Structure 1
Amino acid sequence: MIICVANQKGGVGKTTTLINLGAELARKRKVLIIDLDPQGNCSKTLTSKGRFKFEETIAAMFDKPKVVTINNLIRPALINEKPIVNLDVVPADFQLSRVIETSLTKINRERILEKQLAKLDNLYDVVLLDTPPNLSLTTLNAIQASDLILIPVDSGAFSLDGISPLLEAVSEIKDDDANYVILRNEVDSRNTIINEFMDEELEVIQDKLLPISIRRSEHVGQANAISSPVRFYKPGSLINNDYRKLSSYITSLL
């Protein structure tokens, strides 16, 4: 299964959700995470590196898709410089921004990633695609290639602003095959005003709202600071239960 994690509003915990979901899925499944965001935060967390050689990144594939295959870009995800079992990553960094601009003239440019993923030949149970907070070429590629679009929204009053343009793009690209779910992230059960507001705003797409939510936890920020999924940084953290439930939901779809 190929899952695109997306929201056109930044700061909603999209990358954090993807990293921790991937780490949980990797307990029992073979997982590949592909970083499609020039910010490269996902790559930094899973490799402890901020910069890469151009030919090591997803940018090289978008630059020359007929020469560079995604198989050659895969590397093991690391924690304390040791491989995480069952979890691999294809990294990205700032170099991807330039390549996105030059790739706009390529024929079938929205299907570059889809064609490359076909070359993996079912090597992975789940492929997770991290996208930037905009409708860039990489986001469109991720939507085209995905079986499911996971849209995290946090408890901020403006966190829903990114959903509408994203769903418009999904509808245009996928037509009747659009398959998406919304995940409430960083939920504070004590904040009744915000929670009531979010419930009202999401009422119109209630059928797409997951019965699972991710609680707010300081352990997430701490884990990010040391480039680690939460389950390795703080195994006893309650938020791991939330990511485990999300992982179980995804596993039920396989």
Structure 2
Amino acid sequence: MRIVTVLNQKGGVGKSTVVMNLAAVAAKHSRVLVVDLDPSQRTLTDWAETADEQGISLPFDFTDENDPEVLRQLRAADSWDTIFVDTPGNLEPSAAERIGIVLDSTDFAVLPLEPQPASIRPLLRTIKSLVEPRSIPYRAVISRVGRNEASYSRKDETLKALDSAGIPHLNTWIREYIAHSDAQGTGEVVSNYASTRNTSLAVDDFMSAALELTTIWANEGK
């Protein structure tokens, strides 16, 4: 069983979209649980409740359980192959214990960031304060990339900044699509998007990111 925590101390970087859609792809071939560890925002909880109201069956299990004692038992659970955990955008003291418990059991961290070089500094703070002290393997992933020349240029600049800072990252980046921005309000994830050209491209991004992660995990220890 693998616990994958998605985090960044900077908010608005697309963490929730990354969690829900990576989980949806992974659930095609394995048993998946998604944990909403951000009770103040409740983004994933609202998303899951909307899906239920709309009669949409999410392909994974979901919980907003935040009790520290329950979180300590995640590692011992045998009900899932992969657990994806969403975390708060800013790590207020009230959430610190829960986040610490999950990170202490985390096998891999995914750190989304926006396509701008200014995103590097808060990303580094997250890595230095939370990820590296626990020796958690990780990858950054650029998300919310606009589909125009200027946005692609900023994405390229951000990739160079990641390389200069020595931050390992996925080669896949996540583009912005209306389907992603609407999904929280419709309860959808990539596995049940309506079939159009744009949604197929939106799905492709997460399929590619999931394949990269699977390859990384398969090669761990080699």
Partner of residue 42 from structure 1, selected from 30, 39, 44: 44
Does the 8 A contact of 2:170 with 2:212 survive in 1?
A: no
Please state if 1:83 is matched with 2:40.
no
Q: Secondary structure at the match of 1:89?
A: strand
| 3-state DSSP of counterpart to 1:84 | coil
Rounded Cα–Cα distance in structure 1 between residues aligned with 2:210 and 2:159: 23
User: CA distance change for structure 1 residues 119 and 203 in 2, over 3 Å: closer, same or farther?
Assistant: closer
**Rg: which structure is higher?**
1
- Asked if the contact 1:144/1:173 (under 8 Å) is kept, the reply is no
Task: Provide TM-score, normalisation by structure 2.
Answer: 0.81
TM value normalised by structure 1: 0.72
Residue 125 (structure 1) shift: 1.1
Q: Distance in 2 between matches of 1:172 and 1:21?
A: 23
Q: Distance in 2 between matches of 1:79 and 1:157?
A: 39
Contact 2:33 2:84 in 1 (8 A): yes
- Residue identity in the other structure for 1:81: G
Distance in 1 between the 2:13 and 2:158 partners? 14
- In structure 2, distance between residues paired with 1:241 and 1:159: 25
Task: Give secondary structure in 2 for the equivalent of 1:216.
Answer: coil
**What corresponds to 2:149 in structure 1?**
190
| Shift in alpha-carbon separation, 1:157–1:118, aligned structure 2, 3 A | closer
**More strand per residue:** 1
Q: Is the 8 A contact 1:114 1:145 kept in 2?
A: no
Alignment equivalent of 1:245, drawn from 199, 208, 212: 208
Q: CA RMSD in A?
A: 2.5
Show the counterpart of 1:58: none
SS of equivalent residue, structure 2 residue 57:
strand
Q: Which amino acid aligns with 1:185?
A: S
The answer to whether structure 1 residue 124 and structure 2 residue 80 are counterparts is yes
- The share of aligned pairs that are identical, in percent, is 24
Q: Which runs of 5+ in 1 are unaligned?
A: 49-76, 100-108
CA distance in 2, matches of 1:246, 1:197: 20
1:11 and 1:143, CA in 2 relative to 1: closer, same or farther beyond 3 A? same
Structure 2 CA distance, aligned partners of 1:232 and 1:197?
33
Query: Given residue 241 of structure 1, which amino acid in structure 2 is its aligned partner?
Result: D
Deviations 1:114-146 (A, max 9, x none): 63113312x211100000012332322232121
Does residue 199 of structure 1 match 2:123?
no
Q: Which residue identity lines up with residue 88 of structure 1 in the other structure?
A: D
Task: Tell me, yes or no, if the aligned pair for 1:113 and 1:142 is still in contact at 8 Å.
Answer: no
Q: Distance in 1 between matches of 2:11 and 2:208?
A: 24
Provide the aligned length of Structure 1 versus Structure 2: 206
2:28 maps to 27
Structure-2 separation of matches of 1:205 and 1:78? 42
SS at match of 1:187: coil
Q: Do structure 1's residue 134 and structure 2's residue 90 form an aligned pair?
A: yes
